[in-house]
Structure 1
Amino acid sequence: MEKTDNIQKKIIEDVIYNAEKILEAFNNELDGVLDYSVKSLEVIDDDLLSQFHENLHDVDETMKENAIIQFGSYIFEVARRNYGGKYYWYEQLDQPILVTGQPDFEISILAFEKVKQRIENGYEDNIPFFFKGYVQKLATAKKGDKELIC
């Protein structure tokens, strides 16, 4: 159990650190709207991720990976701060996953994967729609349900 707690602590520290980078980089120019609210995800999507998509040809792989980690971490923290959950490591994609509802049910999200899709594919993979699906699954989850939102 101690190993699981240490992994959990490390992922939380990393996610918070990376989410805070988004606030440091953009919150002043956005008049402080990045407050970990669900509504702030509209700004993340419309004002920031849309620019990454539009300028994808000018973004190198390192910048893209950093954006995926930082924006994904912000989305994870919006979910965790508003709906709870625990972080785990998702081996299949080598990235964190947030699982909400345990022990009754497990509604999980892969925020890094969704940010990658948003940057690469554009608005068809918008973050508010993705997050709304997560919230709706949480609202209707029944004991034993398991769902992965990505």
Structure 2
Amino acid sequence: MKGDLDMGLFRRRRATTGTDELADEMTAVAMRFAAAYDGDGLDFGRESLVRLDEILDGVHRSGAQSADDVAMGAACYVFEVARREFGGRFLAFDEQNPVVLVVGEPEFRVGLCAIGKTRGRITLGAEDHIPFFYEGFVQAVAARRDATIV
């Protein structure tokens, strides 16, 4: 990884309901995250989540004490993959996941909570496997049922 990711947008302000400004900031963070890894297979396609998971596994194995910026950048990357595939809007959620991406409205609502998942992938390891997590989200969207994927 190269450079400072500057992922502090959640430390600067709390998410507001569905603003274009928040979506723009989330996309910018995702783009900086991918650029920090020189692309390295991060093309914002669903398959690139395998590479993202490998990156997070490397951070986990390194034993890094403070990897919050990496977790936030990775979460924004997951959000951007989902947004490019399914659209959606961002909403404020809870302390563990201050932002959720909601897709499917108005027919159904599937919320994707990526922040807690990427933090868990770094701290807990493979039990928070990102491609498996995303596949659960894809299945919920395909089923067109209300769900929150955490």
- What interval of TM-score do these two structures reach, taking the shorter chain for normalisation? 0.7 to 0.9
The answer to whether the 8 A contact 1:11-1:88 is kept is no
Please show how residues 107-146 of structure 1 align to structure 2 within 5 Å: 107-141=110-144, 145-146=145-146
1:85 matched to 2:88? The reply is yes
Deviation at 1:94, TM superposition (A): 5.7
SS in 1 for 2:75: helix
Greater Rg, structure 1 or structure 2? 1
1:70 matched to 2:70? The reply is no
Q: Whose helix fraction is larger, Structure 1's or Structure 2's? A: 1
Counterpart code for 1:17: A
TM-score norm. by structure 1 comes to 0.83
Moved more, 121-130 or 13-22: 13-22
Counterpart code for 1:51: G
For structure 2, the 5+ residue unaligned runs are 1-15
Q: What is aligned with 1:37? A: 45
SS in 2 for 1:93: coil
The answer to whether the 8 A contact 2:71-2:119 is kept is yes
2:36 to 18, 25, 32: 25
SS in 2 for 1:98: strand
Q: CA RMSD in A?
A: 1.6
Count matched residues.
135
Question: Structure 1 residues 111, 94: closer, same or farther in 2, change over 3 A?
Answer: closer
CA distance in 1, matches of 2:92, 2:21: 11
SS in 1 for 2:91: strand
For structure 1, the 5+ residue unaligned runs are none
Deviation at 1:35, TM superposition (A): 1.1
Deviation at 1:12, TM superposition (A): 0.7
Question: Structure 1 residues 96, 140: closer, same or farther in 2, change over 3 A?
Answer: same
1:51 matched to 2:62? The reply is no
SS in 2 for 1:118: helix
CA distance in 1, matches of 2:95, 2:147: 16
CA distance in 1, matches of 2:95, 2:78: 20
TM-score norm. by structure 2 comes to 0.83
